[in-house]
Structure 1
Amino acid sequence: MITRDLDAFSAAARNAASDFGPATAHAAFLVAPDGFSLAEQSAQDNAYMADAAAFDAARASAQHRELQRAISRVVPAICFAGNPETPDAVFPNNVFGTAAGRYVVGRMRHPVRQREATRGDIRAFFRDVLGRREIDLSAQASPCELTGALVIDRARGLGFCGLSERCDEAGARLMHEAFGLRATLMFDLAAGEYHTNVVLAVLAGRAAVVCPRGFADAAVADAIAHLYAPHAVVCSDAEHAAFAGNCIALSQDSVWMSAAAGAALTPAHRQVLADAGLRLETVALDAIEAAGGSLRCCIGEIY
């Protein structure tokens, strides 16, 4: 099922067993911020990006290296070299995604990001080293920026796909099929939002972080929060702006977000995560966040 019908999706989601697959990834991959700088094309529809003067390549590189070191405590984490011609490549989860036995290559909206999909080394890693079958969506017409646009509950096989200039309905359907999901809900993001994973996270199949201001229809945010209640963090505008929604569970007992996001999270919301059995881990990423994404955007998952 892939639908805009909130009631139909909610009914299917409530009945979906937690047997679709592992709730968290087996490993993670990153791409180094080599040549880290403002991507003018991406800035056209990413309101979170800072101006060029705020980009500090050396600080971004050091923080990214610390991110890899930190998450490697809970999951194997490999890092591919960056490329100055692809300044947004530090956010690889938009371009490469995985599911059991396969890997998916997304279709990026902006030409500067479309270059990332041509990387032979990353494709060869999935194809030749891991033996994954390729599903290549990069050459078709509809934008579908993978797990930037599509937040997935891997335990239950549920997709939450926010539509924007980075993903249309046709792209959502292609991703639903590529990841083999049981049910996907399509909905419009609020004006000015570019990716779903900035306003929504599903954590280890049993908790959610929802930023209502990022949804065009508040009823969608409410329904998702209800689906994961009582383990649903409903973010304030301040938490949203600090990238609290851009978080990820990398193990059954840990949730990761940037240090700025963690500092913005209220004590009550920290307790919601703790009650769900999720230990909060943070890494300083203010330099990376100048590029309009945060911790979750930096992490590609290997299932």
Structure 2
Amino acid sequence: MTVEQKKHILGGQANLWAEYIPTPEHSEYMLFPRLAALAEVVWTPDDQLEWKDFSVRVQKLMDRFEIMGINYAKSAYGIQPESEINLETGEVTVSLEAEFPDVEIKYAFGDAELTANANIYREPLKIDSSTSLKAAVFENGKLLGLTMNKSYVFHKAVAKPVEYKFPYNENYNGGGKTGLVDVLRGSKYFKDGRWQGWINRPAVVTINLEEPLDVNQVIVGSLEEQGTGIYFPESIQVEVSEDGMNYRTVGNLPRKFQSNPGAKIENFTIKFEPQNNISFVRVTAVPLKENPTGGGSWLFLDEIEIK
């Protein structure tokens, strides 16, 4: 709307539909502290809205919720990792932050426990080998919110050159030309920037390993959210070559369509007899041919691991 039209807006309201909310405690979780955020937005002039100031005040309000026994959501304490890979070194840099600024984040790698005595996050973390990373917000030794747990799997194709027979959709480019070999995985939110998408076309991806290697397994990460037209592949084929010209098929994974009401991530594993001195691997993921609701079928991939 225009600025003039906006002057006619008298206020706002919060609606909560309860058909999937079975208890009062669940209702409280959905409402608080969102009601405080709504009040801040509708009662505060636009030029005075400031997230950092509000975040300090709402955390004090959360202390009141504790005393009142309100089951409020702590999602703003959740860790939001940002990762990028150096294609020359194959090293991943991970930055950690929560929605609330100036909180204490602690982290632990691998099997180490995440406790109040864990390392304090002060600067971006460097990762150059397979590991898992746990992180959470702490205050006075107490864990706040949920613990982030992410895995980083380094494999034989990391940061290697990739060629595509059919280009991915420009709106879903998932990190660009090396997005399928950058260790960085997508979430169940298909717009998170980590997914590469094709519609009504197969993903035919050729990875140049740049040296002869022994391979016996390929893992393809895929997303399904049938409500938005995103489906798991109907089949995945793996071919290998020593010279990049003559390929032979070493694995084929067919998959029958299954109804799935929610978003789901699956790692499809294709194992095959060990292949020696392989320099090129070609993966073909075929989208669902017939969308049961009509329209096109999207295929979303985030990583191709070669082992």
Q: Say yes or no: TM over 0.5.
A: no
TM-score, with normalisation over the residues of structure 1?
A: 0.22
Larger Rg: 2
Q: Relative contact order (alpha carbons < 8 A, sep ≥ 6): 1 or 2 greater?
A: 1
TM-score, with normalisation over the residues of structure 2?
A: 0.22
Structure whose residues are more often strand by fraction: 2
Structure whose residues are more often helix by fraction: 1
